[in-house]
């Protein structure tokens, strides 16, 4: 199975692509969706963000959704454009250029890529679809050297996620499962904001959030003391934020 | 004098451009920097954002600074990339395509443009430089139908300015003159946030901002009661925001 979609529609040109940074939370860690780049007869095999060139008959947003679906099977991730990358050094690595020119069957100089970000839960709908694709969820701390400038794109996506979460904390609740423990919520906040959070202060802060609602349900079958589950109440959130 | 810079360096390709939305405050109104598009023998004459294609040897940010300087004379505006526009309908108007193809001497299909935003004061340094260019400051409410999708780009730049100002109100003080009246400050807030602000509430709010410092100076030679001047104290701002 190809690591790039077959080019069945005319390309707008061979210089504009889209790349998707889909970050997913598995309850414990933040992961990013990567695709494997390898082909017969190549001496290397590495990972990249799901991305490809745009077709002539589609807008940028349409291209991003299509490319993500074709390469990973993930649909309706809520992709949001956040930055274009167009440094002339993007295609500095001759291996990247060789790979691109074979995949695209065209001479490649510079590729300006439009980067998209999406935050999703890792659940059945976002893992089942990966089957049949060369795609996988990679924990952020396990990401090695990616192709092109994809490490830069990823690190700036993390900063983008932070400022989106500062502007609208509701985003973080979209990552959490429908029922979550405060430990899960705290871990997510620590990872997103990149700093340790004091447990006691955190519990105080949550108590002041009318939109984080305790449930009458507790964890089952855990070795440690079973923690309570909470849920996010969007209506209460909108009231408190107004 | 040409409305487009002469193409002296090889173009990266004929499909990627940058466009600059430079918004300036003249003390009373928000203005946007536009360039006039016209050529001998054309039956039309209209306005557009300063923008052009990128050269092969420059990054996107470099291209934006160069294009702004070449078309308007404005330097160091603090341009910030905020969105790429790549709809296939961008070059729907045959007049736009005709104009582009003559200016670029190349066949044009789609142009993806990377949009930049900057907020500046309109003072000697940002008006004197316009001389010798087909550029002018246009009050936002006087902007008519612009070329391409530049009305869309401009309206989204205004939304971008709003969310930047919510995230960091210090931006708004960069628009205001070094010494400003509370009426000027309030007018700017009203325009940026797109809603009326109650005078009394506004004065109360300002009183709680340790970083808006009253001066012992008053307006001179005004028909109405002379208003006091204030200044923005960045150090106090950073302390209060932390």
Cβ within 8 Å of residue B181, ≥6 positions away: B219, B227, B228, B229, B230
Q: Which residues of A touch B (CB under 8 A)?
A: 12-13, 15-16, 54, 56-60, 81, 83-88, 109-110, 112, 114, 163, 166-167
The answer to whether A219 and A227 have CB atoms below 8 angstroms apart is yes
Place of tokens 């709809």: B87
What are the 10-residue block averages of pLDDT along chain B, 242 residues in total?
Answer: 45 80 92 84 76 87 95 93 90 78 72 94 86 92 92 95 88 90 93 90 92 94 90 92 72
Other C-beta atoms lying within 10 Å of the C-beta of residue A185: 21
Quick one: which of B81, B31, B77 has its CA closest to B60? Answer: B81
- B109: nearest CB among A12, A87, A110: A12
Q: Tell the burial category of B179 from Cβ atoms under 10 Å away from its Cβ (0-12, 13-18, 19+).
A: middle
Using the 8-state DSSP alphabet, how is residue B129 labeled? Answer: G
The answer to whether A22 and A68 have CB atoms below 8 angstroms apart is yes
Q: Tell the burial category of B129 from Cβ atoms under 10 Å away from its Cβ (0-12, 13-18, 19+).
A: middle
- A59: nearest CB among B13, B56, B87: B87
User: Domains, chain A, ranges and CATH?
Assistant: 16-167 (3.90.79.10), 178-241 (1.10.10.10)
Whether B114 and A112 lie within 8 Å, measured CB to CB: yes
User: Residue B5: what pLDDT?
Assistant: 41
Whether A114 and B87 lie within 8 Å, measured CB to CB: no
User: Residue A242: what pLDDT?
Assistant: 67
B53 Cα distance to chain centroid: 19
Place of tokens 């100002």: B165
- A112: nearest CB among B16, B166, B167: B16
Chain A, nearest residue to B85 by Cα: A60
The answer to whether B138 and B32 have CB atoms below 8 angstroms apart is yes
Question: How open is the CA angle B157-B107-B51, to the nearest 5 degrees?
Answer: 25
CA distance A53 to B79: 27
Cα atoms found within 13 Å of the Cα of residue B6, Cβ hemisphere only: 2
What is residue B13's three-state secondary structure?
coil
Structure tokens at A169: 């904390």
Rounded to the nearest 10°, the torsion over CA A25, A31, A33, A36 is -150
Query: Distance (Å) from the C-alpha of residue A55 to the closest C-alpha of chain B?
Result: 10
The answer to whether A175 and A168 have CB atoms below 8 angstroms apart is no
DSSP element (H, E) containing A136? strand A135-139
- Between strands B16-25 and B51-53, the pairing is antiparallel
CA distance B142 to B119: 18
User: Residue B9: what pLDDT?
Assistant: 61
CA distance B172 to A28: 40
Bridge partners (DSSP) listed for residue A34: A136
Cβ within 8 Å of residue A204, ≥6 positions away: none
DSSP element (H, E) containing A170? helix A170-175
- pLDDT tens per residue across span B47-81: 999 998 888 788 999 999 999 999 999 998 999 99
First and final CA of chain B: distance in angstroms?
49
The answer to whether A75 and A129 have CB atoms below 8 angstroms apart is yes
Tell me the backbone φ, ψ of residue A226, rounded to 5 degrees: -65, 130
pLDDT tens for chain A, residues 1 to 242:
333 444 456 666 668 899 999 999 988 899 999 999 866 565 556 899 999 888 878 899 999 999 999 999 999 899 999 999 998 888 777 888 777 777 766 677 778 999 999 999 898 888 888 988 999 999 999 999 998 899 999 999 999 999 889 888 888 998 998 899 999 999 999 989 888 999 999 999 999 999 999 999 999 888 888 999 999 999 999 988 76
Bridge partners (DSSP) listed for residue A48: A35
The answer to whether A211 and A199 have CB atoms below 8 angstroms apart is no
- Distances in Å between the alpha carbon of B81 and those of A160, B21, B142, B168? 13, 10, 25, 17
ipTM confidence: 0.80
CA distance A141 to A139: 5
User: Residue A2: what pLDDT?
Assistant: 34
Query: Distance (Å) from the C-alpha of residue B12 to the closest C-alpha of chain A?
Result: 7
User: Residue A12: what pLDDT?
Assistant: 62
CA distance B231 to B227: 13
Tell me the backbone φ, ψ of residue B85, rounded to 5 degrees: -115, 125
Secondary structure in 3-state letters for B163-176: HHHHHCCHHHHHHC
Whether B86 and A57 lie within 8 Å, measured CB to CB: no
Structure tokens at B199: 């005078």
Other C-beta atoms lying within 10 Å of the C-beta of residue A91: 17
């Amino acid at each position: 199975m190809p690591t790039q979609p077959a080019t069945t529609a005319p390309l707008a040109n061979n210089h504009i692509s889209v790349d998707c940074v889909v970050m997913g939370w598995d309850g414990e860690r933040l992961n990013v969706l990567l695709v494997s780049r390898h082909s017969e007869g190549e001496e290397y095999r590495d990972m990249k963000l799901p991305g490809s060139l745009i077709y002539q008959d589609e807008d940028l947003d349409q291209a991003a959704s299509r490319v993500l679906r074709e390469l990973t099977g993930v649909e309706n991730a809520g992709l949001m454009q956040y930055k274009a990358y167009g440094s002339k050094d993007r295609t500095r690595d001759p291996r990247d250029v060789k790979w691109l020119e074979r995949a695209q069957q065209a001479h490649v100089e510079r590729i300006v890529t439009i980067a998209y970000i999406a935050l999703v839960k890792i659940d059945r709908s976002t893992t089942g679809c990966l089957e049949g694709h060369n795609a996988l969820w990679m924990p952020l701390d396990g990401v090695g050297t990616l192709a092109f400038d994809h490490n830069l794109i990823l690190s700036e996506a993390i900063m983008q996620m932070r400022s989106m979460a500062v502007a609208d904390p509701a985003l973080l609740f979209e990552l959490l499962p429908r029922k979550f423990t405060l430990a899960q919520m705290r871990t997510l906040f620590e990872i997103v904001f990149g700093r340790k959070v004091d447990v006691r202060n955190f519990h105080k802060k949550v108590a002041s959030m009318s939109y984080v609602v305790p449930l009458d349900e507790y964890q089952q079958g855990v070795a440690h003391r079973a923690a309570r589950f909470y849920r996010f109440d969007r209506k209460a959130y909108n009231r408190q934020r107004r």
